[in-house]
Structures are given as C-alpha cells and as structure tokens.
Structure 1
Amino acid sequence: MLARHTGPVEGQPSAPAGTSCPVEVIAAAYLSQTFGDPALALRCAITDALADLMEAERRTRERSRLISRGFVRGRLNDTGDAQEP
C-alpha cells in the first residue's frame, strides 16, 4: 500500500475553510495518491482506517491495564495488606 500522506496534495488547490465536506477532501486525496484508481484508493483508505482502529484498540488495552494495576495497588494500600516502608 502507499504511505500515508500528511501534507497537501500537490497540484490540487486547497478548498477554502468550510466550503468542502471533509469526506470529499479525503476521497480526493486518496484518488490523487493512487493516480485516479478508485479501487486502489478505497483499499488504501480501508487499510489506513484499520491501522488507526488497531492502534486505538492497543492504546485502550494499555490504558485499561494501567488503570487495573493502579486500582489493585490502591486497594492493597487501603486495606492495610501492603506494608509501608
């Protein structure tokens, strides 16, 4: 798949703020990157969306793990089970 594009698309004028739907801007960017191939543009967009979703899920699991660990540590201290130095 193609690398993600993080800047303006060359040769494509940027739309004035508020005059273009973000979906259309994103679709145009993918089409531009894929030289007008709609099937490839769709596959690239889906690949990027799935990568973003997987990263968000990974971060959520990491936060959940850290929160659970903090909860357990706090609970041990509250009940007096853990000895303080």
Structure 2
Amino acid sequence: MHAHPYEPPADIGLTEAEAIALHYYRAAHRDGWTALVRAIADALSDLDAAQAHAERQGRLISRGYARGRSNG
C-alpha cells in the first residue's frame, strides 16, 4: 500500500521527467496545480537564460569572425 495514492511505489524506477515532476509535486505539498506552474516557470526561466547565453555567444563569434578577416 502507498503512503499517498498519487505517488509511485518506492521500488519502481522513474524516468527523469517523472522524478522531476514528483519533486515539484512534493515541494508544492502535493498541490498539483502549484507544482505544474512552478515547473513551467522554472523551465521558461531556464529557456530565457539559454537563449540569452546563445545570443551572447553569437555576438562573440560574429565579432571574432569579422576581426579575423583579411583585407586584401
């Protein structure tokens, strides 16, 4: 029997996505809506950070390419 009916048994292997979802669910005191909103907010924040990093890297590469050109 499970301690809580919405949690998987301890001996079952979870996928990475399931483990992350379960972490958010437990951190939100088993409030599914709050867990979902927090997970999406974190994912969007990570996506914004990754996009900003990619843009900074793109600018560095572009400048380096332009500086490395020979004029002749």
TM over 0.5: yes
Greater fraction of residues in helix: 2
**1:64, 1:37 → 2: CA distance?**
41
Cα RMSD between the aligned structures?
A: 1.5
Partner of 2:68: 74
* % identical equivalent positions: 42
Q: Which runs of 4+ in 1 moved over 3 A?
A: none
CA offsets, 1:51-76, max 9 Å, x none?
0000000000000000010011011x
| Aligned partner of 1:47 among 18, 29, 41 | 41
**Bigger CA radius of gyration:** 1
TM-score by length of 1: 0.68
TM-score by length of 2: 0.79
Q: Does 1:65 align with 2:55?
A: no
**1:52, 1:31 → 2: CA distance?**
19
Partner of 2:18: 24
Structure 1: gaps (5+ residues): 1-14, 81-85
Structure 2: gaps (5+ residues): 1-9
The alignment covers a number of residue pairs equal to 62
